[in-house]
């Protein structure tokens, strides 16, 4: 009986961990335009020009993070709280995971 209880506890831990992981994964994909989801999932090294919408007042913080942590060269867009940056597709998921990032979309003006 004791072994059964241990198995139930361990199984519950695995199930809750999986549920949290799926919820987290769903959260980052919701930040992308449809055109970027596949690139983010592939983790391609090909460069992508993206527009990043950030929380109000977080533009400088996110720009500093992109430079310091990823070596990118972000630029402010004409609208407030928007950043334009060229980055490898492999970084899209990492950028989306930032709490100050609200949305990422492909920069269509570069095409």
pLDDT in tens, 1-36: 788 888 888 887 777 776 555 455 456 678 888 778
pTM exceeds 0.75, yes or no: no
pLDDT mean over 62-66: 95
- On whether residue 21 sits in a domain, the answer given is no
Instruction: Write out the residue range of the structural domain in which residue 75 sits.
Output: 31-110
CA distance 60 to 23: 29
Whichever domain contains 101, its CATH number is: 3.30.70.2980
Please report, to the nearest 10 degrees, the dihedral formed by the alpha carbons of residues 62, 68, 74, 78 taken in order.
40
């Amino acid at each position: 009986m004791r072994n059964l209880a241990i198995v139930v506890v361990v199984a519950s831990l695995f199930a809750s961990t999986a549920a949290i992981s799926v919820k987290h994964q769903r959260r980052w994909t919701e930040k992308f335009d449809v055109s970027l989801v596949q690139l983010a999932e592939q983790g391609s090294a090909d460069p992508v020009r993206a527009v990043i919408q950030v929380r109000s007042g977080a533009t400088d913080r996110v720009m500093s993070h992109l430079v310091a942590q990823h070596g990118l060269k972000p630029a402010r867009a004409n609208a407030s709280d928007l950043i334009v940056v060229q980055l490898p597709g492999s970084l899209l998921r990492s950028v989306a995971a930032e709490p100050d990032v609200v949305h990422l979309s492909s920069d269509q003006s570069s095409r």
